[in-house]
Amino acid sequence: MPYFITKTERDDLFVEGFLAGAPPDRYTQKGQYWGLPIFDWEHKYEENLAYLLKRLHRAFSLFDVVRLDHFCGLAAVWAIPAKYKSGKKGDWLKVPGERILTKIRQKFPDKILIAEDLGIITPEVTELRKKFGLLGTKVMVFGARKVKKDEVLYSSTHDTMGMGKIREFRDVRELGERSGAKIFIIPMWDILGLGKGFRFNRPGRKGGNWQWRIDKIEK
């Protein structure tokens, strides 16, 4: 959740000399360099926890369900030395995820949390998710059709091309309804049957992302 604190605001909260990203995976062979600060849980646990709980409180005041992106970051963060600008070079920095999620569940015992557990997922991450009752993530565009009761199925995600031009929306909806997923999520670009030209985000690319909007829908 570092997106809403800049390094200049509270420099003391972050690990010095490292920035966050992701190693090479199925999304990009180059990995991802985000340039985001990494919370220093070892030395600033209480301050960082208070901030995280505040962010979640705000999110749940707006939405019924909240997704924790890059859920593996609650087990370990891909820490890239500040001198590099690529996700290829880095190392995993341990995060006290069990302590953090214990506090989250104490504060929000009945709230629905989705774990974006995509990419490089270790048994430790899966165990952490299940222990605290978070829903896992599966994606139809990657071939997922049947999922478990503790998983959410997406037709596609912000990081992928949509199902448009592959299947009609009606077929996508029927597949989702038969999947067994606790929750089935269809992004608007799949509802409208749009192709890759309407892609929302390209991992690892700096510009042109997160700009997709619907201005008006004609009846």
CA 34/CA 3 separation, integer angstroms? 10
Task: For residue range 177-213, list pLDDT tens digits in order.
Answer: 899 888 999 998 888 888 767 888 887 677 888 888 8
**Is the predicted pLDDT of residue 10 greater than 70, yes or no?**
no
Any catalytic annotation for residue 91?
no
The mean of the pLDDT values for the chain is 88
Tell me whether residue 127 is one of the annotated catalytic residues: no
Residue with tokens 């009846």: 219
The kind and range of the H/E element at 189 are: helix 188-191
End-to-end CA distance of the chain: 38
pTM: 0.85
CA dist., res. 125 & res. 103, Å (int): 17
116, 117, 151, 190: the catalytic one is: 116
Tell me which residue of 23, 29, 3 sits closest to 120, measured CA to CA: 23
Q: What is the DSSP letter of 135?
A: B
Can 159 be counted among the known catalytic residues?
A: yes
- Looking at residue 1, its pLDDT comes to 36
Residue from 25, 69, 124, 150 carrying the catalytic annotation: 69
Distances in Å between the alpha carbon of 66 and those of 55, 69, 118, 186?
11, 9, 16, 16
Q: According to the model, what pLDDT value does residue 3 have?
A: 40
Cβ 176 vs Cβ 184: under 8 Å = yes
Instruction: Tell me the pLDDT band of 219, cut-offs 50, 70 and 90.
Output: low
> What is the CB neighbour count within 10 angstroms for residue 196?
11
Q: What is the pLDDT of residues 40-87, one digit of tens each?
A: 999 999 999 999 999 999 999 999 999 999 899 999 999 999 999 889
For residues 131-159, average pLDDT: 92
Q: Which residue among 117, 151, 159, 190 is the active-site one?
A: 159
